[in-house]
Structure 1
Amino acid sequence: MQVFFVTMTFETGNSAGFLANHMARLFAAGLARRIQPLGLAPAQFMVLLVLWDGDGLTQRDLVERLDVEQATMANTLARMERDGLITRQPSPTDKRARIVRLTDKARALEGDAKAAAQAQNNAALSGLSAAEADQLVDLMRRVVGTMQRRA
């Protein structure tokens, strides 16, 4: 098996890291503009996406699934609780853990928030064919997986 390494200069236009970071910031800014009328921030939206898939997770579960720092998650959850999006209840099986649950307010935002995110994705990928967009997403998943395995 041959292994090939791509040599790139660290000029901004050739650096995968720079481009990924720049693209992520542009996506986040576009998403923020689209979900702001719903009273959401991007970090809250990411937590909601996970909870809409499976309500009743612990803060630790959310940290692991979103790959963020514990302190960052604690601050995000505190804001979400203040904004009436979640409740935190003691875990019946672990005295130290609290279960994060969606409120009716958060459940009611799901359709509009996901539509806003889809609109942002559509706008960002509009310069690509459907096959190219699928390929980009596949390549991004592979890079993320590689980086997670090496972390």
Structure 2
Amino acid sequence: MPEPSVANTLRRPRAPRKTAGTAPASPSAGVSEASSGLDTSYLETLLGYNARRAALAVITVFLRRMAPFGLRPVDFSVLTLIAHNPGVTSRQLCAELDILPPNLVGMIKNLDKRGLIERKPHPSDRRALGLHLSAEGKQLQKQAQLTATRLEHDVSDTLTPVELDTLNALLRKVYQR
């Protein structure tokens, strides 16, 4: 039997990850974070902790439902911005989504290879190319957007519409400084 590599021997064992679809092991297990025996009260006062936990719950469902479309969250965001802003430039996408240009280049190449986008000369900037959805891209983005709308409803069904609007508005206040 081969010896484990140094990297493998230095790793801490990880507990199985809980996902949005994971059911509690017993009726009393998983009722709340407190039932795990850990005191999370301080963490639960932190915006970052709560935002991250909420994001993980949503992203878990998002990844599962977007798998048939072959879209990751960032791909969906890029396609959606192109759909709603035909002719948008890569520079504009980077600024809006806080993506480094080298990272966007690979995404754009991949979307182009899949036949989802087209690059056309920008009407006012000769140096730039505007990004547009192809017919196939429009169809895929429309289906993916419907799926995203349904999954947002499903993961936020414990909130009233007013609570959801308030939550979204408050989160935007944090990142739109």
Instruction: Please classify the TM superposition score into its range, dividing by the shorter chain length.
Output: 0.7 to 0.9
- The equivalent position to 2:88 in structure 1, one of 42, 50, 57, is 57
Deviation at residue 101 of structure 1 after TM alignment: 1.6
- Partner in structure 1 of residue 153 of structure 2: 122
Structure 2: runs of 5 or more not aligned: 1-39
Q: Which has the higher helix share?
A: 1
Looking at structure 1, the residues matched to 142 and 88 of structure 2 have their Cα atoms a distance apart, in angstroms, of 21
Q: Quick one: structure 1 residues 11 and 70, their matched pair in 2 at CA, closer, same or farther if it must change by over 3 Å? A: farther
Are 2:121 and 2:130, in contact at CA under 8 Å, matched by a contact in 1? yes
- Partner in structure 2 of residue 83 of structure 1: 114
- Partner in structure 2 of residue 21 of structure 1: 52
Looking at structure 1, the residues matched to 129 and 117 of structure 2 have their Cα atoms a distance apart, in angstroms, of 12
1:12 lines up with 2:43 in the alignment = yes
Deviation at residue 15 of structure 1 after TM alignment: 1.5
Looking at structure 2, the residues matched to 93 and 126 of structure 1 have their Cα atoms a distance apart, in angstroms, of 44
Question: 1:37-76 deviations in whole A, cap 9, x for unaligned?
Answer: 1232221110111111111111101111222211221121
Q: Report % sequence identity.
A: 29
Deviation at residue 10 of structure 1 after TM alignment: 9.3
Q: Which has the higher contact order (CA 8 A, sep 6+)?
A: 1
- Partner in structure 2 of residue 37 of structure 1: 68
Q: Based on CA coordinates, which of the two structures has the bigger radius of gyration?
A: 2
Looking at structure 1, the residues matched to 42 and 113 of structure 2 have their Cα atoms a distance apart, in angstroms, of 43
Q: Quick one: structure 1 residues 100 and 128, their matched pair in 2 at CA, closer, same or farther if it must change by over 3 Å? A: same
Counterpart of 2:43 in 1: which secondary structure? coil
Per the normalisation by structure 1, the TM-score is 0.79
Structure 1: runs of 5 or more not aligned: 1-8
Deviation at residue 12 of structure 1 after TM alignment: 2.8
Looking at structure 2, the residues matched to 54 and 92 of structure 1 have their Cα atoms a distance apart, in angstroms, of 14
Deviation at residue 108 of structure 1 after TM alignment: 0.9
RMSD: 2.2
- The equivalent position to 2:102 in structure 1, one of 41, 66, 71, is 71
Deviation at residue 117 of structure 1 after TM alignment: 0.6
